[in-house]
Amino acid sequence: MEIKNLLDKVRYPSDLRKLKQKELGQFSKELREELVDVVSVTGGHLGAGLGVVELTVALHYVFDTPKDKLVWDVGHQAYPHKIITGRRNEIRTLRKGGGLSGFTKRSESEYDPFGAAHSSTSISSTLGMSVAKKLSKDSNHVIAVIGDGAMSAGMAYEAMNNAGAMKSKLIVILNDNDMSISSPVGAMSSYLSRLLSGKTSFSFRETFKLITSAFLKRFKDKDTKPEDFFRDKISGGTLFNQLGFNYIGPIDGHDLDSLISVFKNVKNSNYKGPILIHACTKKGKGYKPAEDSGDKYHGVTKFNVITGEQSKSKSSTLPYTKVFANTLIKHAEKDTKIVGITGAMPSGTGMDIFGKNFPDRMFDVGIAEQHAVTFAAGMATEGYKPFAAIYSTFLQRAYDQVVHDVAIQSLPVRFAIDRAGLVGADGPTHAGSFDITYLSTLPNFIVMAASNEAELVKMINTSVSINDRPSAFRYPRGNGIGVELPSISEILEIGKGEIIKEGKKVALLSFGGRLQECLKAAKELDNKGISTTVVDAKFAKPLDQKLIIDICLNHEVLITIEEGSIGGFGSHVFQMLSERGIFDKGLKIRSMILPDQFIDQDTPENMYKIAGLDAKTIEQKAIDALKSNIVIPINKKFS
């Protein structure tokens, strides 16, 4: 490991606090260099961490962490925090199997008081900590660091409204880098821009003067409280003040002297209510390739430190996300009622591609999944065909809206569910584990899962034609398998599966992306003399009841396979068979689902092995079922 004079002296924040303040600039430089070096090897989130180096250093320098609780919203900007909180020796295991999480994680370190990976949770969680500390008569501080992008979510305002009303002791750092993953959207972004255009970020001298005058000087007007004076001088009465926060800023988030001065004064003040410090930073700060990049190197693969060139995928096949975008564009060229909606993830969902072609028909609503779903429902009432492209893990944040605003009203909103199944390095917080279950339980819904990119095209085509109820199609992260894509005129018959390979003894009924593993397992079973059928179910709702019952009547073993939790496709198959009263002849029926655990980050291949959804485990499941004496009787007379 390269020797870094100051960085090598700091293992924990207690070591950092032993440094002289004038040394912190050099320390920050070394920390930033270490971050670039680390992520060039591990890949992951880089730009956000580069932007908060000085914030990280100043916070740990002033506050007594871990006694003072520091919560990073989302957590992808917490790599510098991890390096100086006892994890530098492990930092090159980031996002790898058995290594450090790419986000904050309570079980990983006492310096991570709250695990995060979905945005806009920091103010709510720290408010909870603050109230708990008050009840326990604990005087330590709680600090939330939230980005301007995360401030587009309603949950942040719900928390601020509650904190202001309770006058809780809470410090919120608004890390304003004018960018989350993509360019910011919404009124909050415009509002923050107006705050910045109205005044220059304060220098150390200006900040010190304002802080000391507000908090330490006596005033001739005895009726004027220091905090009121401070608000008038600095903020001129802001939205944050109206929510009950004492607003400070904007200040330069890369000026260590300014940051430390503000943090010390806030820490030592007797102000009783919540405080919001507006710090302006630059995402990708200090690494030119990141500064010059459109996304500021938000998420990167391994890269060359000198040139910034990222490793390119060796796959010659198209990513599912691009297949979705290209197909939707073809439909939108013919149908002006088609619109696209995303929640601050245009590049992640392919909506950026759609938006370039139809800028007036693509709507990025910010990190606001609840709003995105009901917004789509509203458009559907007016005859439009909204495609809400939302990751599986993020759609669950809007479940109430899916139920009440879409399903109950049977509105034809189309849900394009990206990142279905296990996603690799982002770990359990980003895994699409539950959408089959939480959507298939809903009346009026059509739920599909693509086994390859050609099936994805057919499902998009099909959803365009569904105008009387909501529909959803799920597809995995990554690239397709390289099959030829059909035309946009080819649609599926609703609720009909397809036999891909016929056999006589074992039937593998696959829903979604495990179809190729089922085919591999079937080949090995055939080689062992076990004739195997493989079915692509395509639909979890409605089920292809006739096909499934025919399989049950003509096979000894039926195994359902899906990339989802209990209560999903397999559960619906079992329920249907039970309700249809199929008895008298033995059927050995099994279900293969994601296990009842959260699977930590690893490669997708390893994660599926851990989950028991790989070809070898499918093969063994069939063999074990054939040997088993546990059967479900079947009525051969049923028709």
The pLDDT assigned to 598 comes to: 96
The token duo for 278 is 């507006």
With respect to residue 397, please indicate whether it lies within any of the assigned structural domains: yes
The pLDDT assigned to 320 comes to: 98
**Whether residue 357 is found in the same domain as residue 265:** no
Is 498 catalytic? The answer is: no
With respect to residue 368, please indicate whether it lies within any of the assigned structural domains: yes
**pLDDT at 220 exceeding the cut of 50:** no
* Residue 322 parent element (H or E): helix 320-334
With respect to residue 90, please indicate whether it lies within any of the assigned structural domains: no
Cα 475 vs. chain centroid, distance in angstroms?
A: 16
What's the Cα-to-Cα distance from 114 to each of 14, 145, 162, 192, 381, rounded to whole Å?
20, 12, 19, 27, 40
Instruction: Supply the DSSP symbol for 598.
Output: P
d(CA 426, CA 212): 44
The pLDDT assigned to 152 comes to: 83
**Whether residue 442 is found in the same domain as residue 587:** no
Question: What average pLDDT does the segment 3-12 reach?
Answer: 88
**Whether residue 246 is found in the same domain as residue 348:** no
DSSP string covering 538-578? -EEES--HHHHHHHHHH-SEEEEEESS-TTSHHHHHHHHHH
d(CA 398, CA 554): 42
d(CA 432, CA 419): 6
Question: What average pLDDT does the segment 266-289 reach?
Answer: 91
**Whether residue 284 is found in the same domain as residue 345:** no
Mean pLDDT score of the chain, rounded to an integer? Answer: 89
**Whether residue 450 is found in the same domain as residue 590:** no
Q: Reduced to 3 states, what is the DSSP secondary structure of residue 229?
A: helix
Question: What average pLDDT does the segment 308-312 reach?
Answer: 85
**Whether residue 263 is found in the same domain as residue 357:** no
The token duo for 495 is 């609720």
Please, which pLDDT band fits residue 630 given cuts at 50, 70 and 90?
low
- 595: cis peptide before it, omega within 30°? no
**pLDDT at 221 exceeding the cut of 50:** no
The token duo for 186 is 């919404």
With respect to residue 19, please indicate whether it lies within any of the assigned structural domains: no
Please, which pLDDT band fits residue 309 given cuts at 50, 70 and 90?
confident
Question: What average pLDDT does the segment 324-340 reach?
Answer: 98
Burial of 1 (0-12, 13-18, 19+ CB in 10 A): exposed
Which of 277-286, 313-322, 362-371 has the weakest average pLDDT? 313-322
Beta carbons of 103 and 115 less than 8 angstroms apart = yes
Is 283 catalytic? The answer is: yes
Is 588 catalytic? The answer is: no
**pLDDT at 344 exceeding the cut of 50:** yes
Beta carbons of 135 and 168 less than 8 angstroms apart = no
d(CA 120, CA 126): 11
d(CA 457, CA 492): 10
d(CA 92, CA 75): 17
**pLDDT at 213 exceeding the cut of 60:** no
The pLDDT assigned to 242 comes to: 87
d(CA 252, CA 264): 16
For the domain that residue 115 is a member of, what is the CATH number?
A: 3.40.50.970
d(CA 455, CA 545): 20
* Residue 227 parent element (H or E): helix 226-230
Torsion of CA 501, 504, 506, 509, to 10 degrees: 40
**Whether residue 250 is found in the same domain as residue 330:** no
d(CA 102, CA 99): 9
Query: What phi-psi label fits residue 266: left (phi over 0), alpha (psi between -120 and 50 degrees) or beta?
Result: alpha
With respect to residue 525, please indicate whether it lies within any of the assigned structural domains: yes
DSSP string covering 398-457? GHHHIIIIIITTT---EEEEES-B--STT-GGG-B-SHHHHHHTSTT-EEEE-SSHHHHH
Count up the domains in the chain and report the number: 3
The pLDDT assigned to 4 comes to: 64
Beta carbons of 111 and 72 less than 8 angstroms apart = no
Question: What average pLDDT does the segment 501-509 reach?
Answer: 98
**pLDDT at 216 exceeding the cut of 90:** no
**Whether residue 223 is found in the same domain as residue 129:** yes
The pLDDT assigned to 222 comes to: 43
Please, which pLDDT band fits residue 236 given cuts at 50, 70 and 90?
very low
Torsion of CA 398, 102, 450, 313, to 10 degrees: 140
**pLDDT at 628 exceeding the cut of 90:** no
**Whether residue 126 is found in the same domain as residue 217:** yes
Percent of the chain with pLDDT over 90: 77
**pLDDT at 185 exceeding the cut of 60:** no
Question: What average pLDDT does the segment 15-39 reach?
Answer: 96
**Phi, then psi, of 138 in degrees rounded to 5:** -100, 125
Domain boundary residue, one of 270, 289, 308: 289
With respect to residue 308, please indicate whether it lies within any of the assigned structural domains: no
Task: Dump pLDDT digits (tens) for 388-420.
Answer: 999 999 999 999 999 999 999 999 999 999 999
Which is catalytic among the residues 88, 283, 458, 621? Answer: 283
The pLDDT assigned to 2 comes to: 52
What's the Cα-to-Cα distance from 479 to each of 19, 322, 430, 475, 483, rounded to whole Å?
48, 9, 18, 10, 11
Residue type, 485: L
Question: What average pLDDT does the segment 304-323 reach?
Answer: 88
The pLDDT assigned to 312 comes to: 79
Q: Reduced to 3 states, what is the DSSP secondary structure of residue 519?
A: helix
Question: What average pLDDT does the segment 303-319 reach?
Answer: 86
User: Domain limits at 355?
Assistant: 320-474
**Whether residue 281 is found in the same domain as residue 332:** no
d(CA 259, CA 201): 12
Work out whether strand 588-592 and strand 557-562 pair parallel, antiparallel, or are unpaired: parallel
**Whether residue 433 is found in the same domain as residue 573:** no
What's the Cα-to-Cα distance from 281 to each of 26, 210, 293, 311, rounded to whole Å?
18, 20, 16, 28
Query: What phi-psi label fits residue 612: left (phi over 0), alpha (psi between -120 and 50 degrees) or beta?
Result: left
Which is catalytic among the residues 30, 34, 54, 369? Answer: 369
**Whether residue 250 is found in the same domain as residue 382:** no
With respect to residue 39, please indicate whether it lies within any of the assigned structural domains: no
Please, which pLDDT band fits residue 233 given cuts at 50, 70 and 90?
very low
Which is catalytic among the residues 87, 88, 296, 397? Answer: 397
**pLDDT at 54 exceeding the cut of 50:** yes
For the domain that residue 525 is a member of, what is the CATH number?
A: 3.40.50.920
d(CA 271, CA 544): 64
pTM: predicted TM-score of the whole model, two decimal places: 0.87
Task: Dump pLDDT digits (tens) for 525-566.
Answer: 999 999 999 999 999 999 999 999 999 999 999 999 999 999
With respect to residue 467, please indicate whether it lies within any of the assigned structural domains: yes
